[in-house]
Amino acid sequence: MAVLGRLLSDTTGSYRPRADIAQGLLSARTLKKTDKEPRGSKMDFIFDILINLLAHRIGVYVLGLLSGGRFKGESGFAWGWAVAVGGLVLFAPFVVSIALLIHTSGG
Residue 46 is predicted with a pLDDT of 78
Residue 21 has pLDDT above 80, yes or no: no
Q: Which of 81, 25, 31 is nearest to 58 (CA)?
A: 81
Q: pLDDT band for 38, please (50, 70, 90 cuts).
A: low
If pLDDT is split at 50, 70 and 90, which confidence band does 10 have? very low
Instruction: Please state the pTM of the whole predicted model.
Output: 0.55
Q: How many domains does the chain have?
A: 2
Q: Cα–Cα distance between 14 and 5 in angstroms, integer?
A: 11
> For position 49, what pLDDT does the model report?
81
Please give the Cα distance from 53 to 24 (Å, whole number): 22
Q: What is the pLDDT of residue 32?
A: 52
pLDDT of residue 51: 83
56 in the same domain as 22:
no
* Residues β-bridged to residue 77: none
Our measurement of the distance from residue 55's CA atom to the centroid of its chain's CA atoms, rounded to an integer in Å, reads: 8
Task: Using pLDDT thresholds of 50, 70 and 90, give the confidence band for residue 23.
Answer: low
Confidence of residue 87 (pLDDT cuts 50, 70, 90): very high
Q: Are residues 47 and 71 in the same domain?
A: yes
Residue 23 is part of which domain span? 2-31
Question: Distances in Å between the alpha carbon of 32 and those of 2, 21, 50?
Answer: 16, 17, 21
Question: Does residue 36 form part of some domain?
Answer: no
Measured CA to CA in angstroms, residue 79 lies from 59, 66, 82 at distances of 9, 16, 5
DSSP track, 27-67: HHHHHTS-TTSPPPPHHHHHHHHHHHHHHHHHHHHHHHHHT
